[in-house]
Chains A and B, each alone.
Chain A
Amino acid sequence: MARYLLTRAWHSALTLLLSTVVVFLGVRALPGDPALALAGEDRSPEALEAIRHHYGLDQPLPIQFGQYVARVVQGDFGVSIRTGIPVSSMLGTALPVTVELSLLAIVLAAALGVGAGVLAAVRRGRPAEWLANGLALIGLSVPHFWLGLLAILYLSVAAGLFPASGFVPLLQDPVGNLHHIVLPAVILGTGLAAIIMRQTRSAMLEALSSDHVRTAKAKGLRPRAVITRHALRNSLIVVVTIVGLQLGGLISGAVVTEQIFGLPGFGKMTIDAVFQRDYPVIQAVVLLTATAYIVINFLVDLLYSVIDPRIRVTGEPA
């Protein structure tokens, strides 16, 4: 187990280093002089010289990379070309919104997906299974940004149930915050719920036909007890696995959802940055996403070995 975790830690560190190199080289791959791209409006020779010096663009590449890593580790992602605000403080206000949105989406998706998955497995061959399967297929096929558009159109604008856009910080007004964020979270969670439902269903079907469940039934344990025990134990593993695997999709989805609902999060910041050619922001966003992905997946693996004892023994994910 210790060896497995050490290997995983080493792989994560290596991937992190490689992604930093990719992001670093990405800015160098920009057409033209990177100093010009980083300068934005002020393109006087003095300003360009200052930028070249600040970013070390007059130094050889390996040294530039070293300086870049040193700055990033200290949380210095440069200054936004458009707003003049340090990128780190922009991230400071944007990230909490995205994290809250994503966590709420995961919770809703897990509740919905596990519930429907268990129902589909238990009511096998009945209308309930068909309904759950059909909804899951639609959840996989529907463009979520479109679902968001329809929700705004019919639930927010026409019915007035939710605010169409905008945001209130959680600490300032928890109820208003929830009111703003619940609909985006539902929209973001639908795809995840569909995937969790399908996995839960097949995990449950397998568990229900396994020997120890048959033994439990033969012993006279009530079906409900059997189902609850297995549903709860296995579904936790299913949810953790899917969240790890689908993290990339979740991040992409959050970007789109924020854009549609006008939430001032990480995603909106990203899209605005692309259209304003705000390279320091784009660079920070890409690097931070990669880091988050790598770190969270490492944590998921750690969590895995806690939940699933088989991994502790074999050293390999089941």
Chain B
Amino acid sequence: MTVLTVRMADAAPAGISRRARVLRRLRRNPLAVVSFVVLALAAVVALLSPWIAPHEVQQTDFAHTFSPPGTPGHLLGTDDLGRDVLSRIMLGARASLQVALLAVATSLIIGVPLGLAAGYFRSWDAVISRFTDLLLAFPFLIMAVGLAAIRGASLTNAAVAVGIAQIPGVIRVVRSDTLRLKSLDFVAAAVVDGASDLWVLARHILPNATSVILVQATVAIPAAILGEAVLSFLGLGIQPPAPSLGTMLATAQQFAARAPWAAVLPGVVIMGLALAFNVFGDALRDALDPKGDRR
């Protein structure tokens, strides 16, 4: 009996050879390589930023406010309080990635089980669909407004609002992949073999749905980065004086005439991060596509 189950699992399309093929396709795509390198660098900088940032982020210096980029000691200049812009960008990017990962993790933790259940159990589908409809009816900014009104604005508030808004997308892709996998022979074989529903879901369906979940996550992260930036910009997310790319832009807006560079740099970083994730996500989706090169 055990032998049969193992063989069935191996027959599933997520074998080692497929992973190797996907990696090879990614390595051959220059855009994928470049975006991956950018993301890896950003991750390292974000992780180490509390130690490698050239200045203390909260350290004010009122004798040197609005120093332009290139000032000795302040590569990217200083802000309205004389704080080092480079250091604040590094820690702001760290906060962006933190919120994005927290948000996407939230959406996966809630969305994946619901998507599996909706696709696998017919009777749950209707209830979960209504739940999805309900979530969709509250756009993320409105959700953030409501949450901020009830719980106050914070980094967690931003992550929760963005995460909840991404749940319907996760449910949708996981549900449709579950429906597809459920109709395949190896799942039917496992069911005939006497496997419980939970076992089939955990052992056969979830492992094969990982590629769509992975693609969904890579699309969700840049959206979450932009979401955090918007919320912090509006004052609904990370609260000053904690560094955040969104709040940096909100401050820069007030002093844009005096220090236009301060309104440019944090935005470039946000865009760079989101762009790298989007490019890599596209490449990953193409590489995972069994039909091969679509381009």
- The B-contacting residues of A in range 3-38, CB under 8 angstroms, are 11, 14-16, 18-19, 22-23, 26, 29-31
**How far, in Å, is B249 (CB) from chain A's closest CB?**
6
**A119 lies within 8 A of chain B by Cβ:** no
Across-interface contacts of B267 in A (CB, < 8 A)? 142-143, 146-147, 149-150
Q: From B257, which residue of chain A is reached at the shortest CB distance?
A: A157
Q: From A19, which residue of chain B is reached at the shortest CB distance?
A: B137
B271 and A26 form a contact (CB under 8 A) = no
B137 and A255 form a contact (CB under 8 A) = no
Across-interface contacts of B137 in A (CB, < 8 A)? 15-16, 19, 289-290, 293-294
**How far, in Å, is A129 (CB) from chain B's closest CB?**
10
- Residue B249 contacts which of A16, A140, A146, A294 (CB distance < 8 angstroms)? A146
**How far, in Å, is B27 (CB) from chain A's closest CB?**
21
B271 and A252 form a contact (CB under 8 A) = no
- The B-contacting residues of A in range 278-304, CB under 8 angstroms, are 279, 282, 285-286, 289-290, 293-294, 297
Tally of B interface residues using CB under 8 Å: 43
Cα distance, A32 to B149, chains bound together (Å): 13
A19 and B275 form a contact (CB under 8 A) = no
Contact flags B132-162 to A (C-beta < 8 A → 1, else 0): 0110111111100110111000000000000
Cα distance, A7 to B277, chains bound together (Å): 39
Given contacts A150-B264, A252-B141, A256-B230, contact A15 B134 (CB under 8 A): yes
B230 and A153 form a contact (CB under 8 A) = no
A252 and B149 form a contact (CB under 8 A) = no
Q: From A125, which residue of chain B is reached at the shortest CB distance?
A: B295
Name the 6 nearest CB pairs between A and B, nearest first: A248-B139, A252-B141, A146-B267, A141-B274, A141-B275, A290-B137
B270 and A149 form a contact (CB under 8 A) = no
Cα distance, A277 to B146, chains bound together (Å): 11
- Residue A274 contacts which of B145, B252, B274 (CB distance < 8 angstroms)? B145
A271 and B149 form a contact (CB under 8 A) = no
**B108 lies within 8 A of chain A by Cβ:** no
A29 and B150 form a contact (CB under 8 A) = yes
Which residue among A22, A149, A157, A290 has the maximum number of chain B CB atoms within 10 Å of its CB?
Answer: A149
**How far, in Å, is B119 (CB) from chain A's closest CB?**
16
**B260 lies within 8 A of chain A by Cβ:** yes
**How far, in Å, is B207 (CB) from chain A's closest CB?**
28
A251 and B274 form a contact (CB under 8 A) = no
Of B3-11, B16-24, B231-239, the one contacting chain A is B231-239
**How far, in Å, is B240 (CB) from chain A's closest CB?**
14
Q: From A297, which residue of chain B is reached at the shortest CB distance?
A: B136
Cα distance, A249 to B253, chains bound together (Å): 23
A282 and B249 form a contact (CB under 8 A) = no
- The B-contacting residues of A in range 257-291, CB under 8 angstroms, are 259-260, 270-271, 274-275, 277, 279, 282, 285-286, 289-290
A145 and B233 form a contact (CB under 8 A) = yes
Q: From B260, which residue of chain A is reached at the shortest CB distance?
A: A153
Which residue among B136, B264, B279 has the maximum number of chain A CB atoms within 10 Å of its CB?
Answer: B136
Which residue among A18, A147, A248, A294 has the maximum number of chain B CB atoms within 10 Å of its CB?
Answer: A248
- Residue B141 contacts which of A149, A251, A260 (CB distance < 8 angstroms)? A251
**B130 lies within 8 A of chain A by Cβ:** yes
**12 chain-A/chain-B pairs, Cβ below 8 angstroms:** A23-B146, A26-B150, A137-B279, A138-B271, A142-B271, A146-B263, A146-B266, A146-B270, A146-B271, A256-B141, A274-B236, A285-B142
- Residue A145 contacts which of B140, B146, B249, B257 (CB distance < 8 angstroms)? B249
**B229 lies within 8 A of chain A by Cβ:** yes
Cα distance, A286 to B140, chains bound together (Å): 11
B263 and A153 form a contact (CB under 8 A) = yes
4 new A-B contacts at CB < 8 Å, known A137-B279, A297-B136: A15-B133, A138-B275, A143-B229, A286-B142
- Residue A286 contacts which of B145, B257, B279 (CB distance < 8 angstroms)? B145
Q: From A253, which residue of chain B is reached at the shortest CB distance?
A: B141
Across-interface contacts of B141 in A (CB, < 8 A)? 251-252, 255-256
- The B-contacting residues of A in range 147-182, CB under 8 angstroms, are 147, 149-150, 152-153, 157
**B118 lies within 8 A of chain A by Cβ:** no
Across-interface contacts of B234 in A (CB, < 8 A)? 255-256, 259, 271
Contact flags B214-242 to A (C-beta < 8 A → 1, else 0): 00000000100010011001111000000
A275 and B235 form a contact (CB under 8 A) = yes
Across-interface contacts of A252 in B (CB, < 8 A)? 139-142, 230
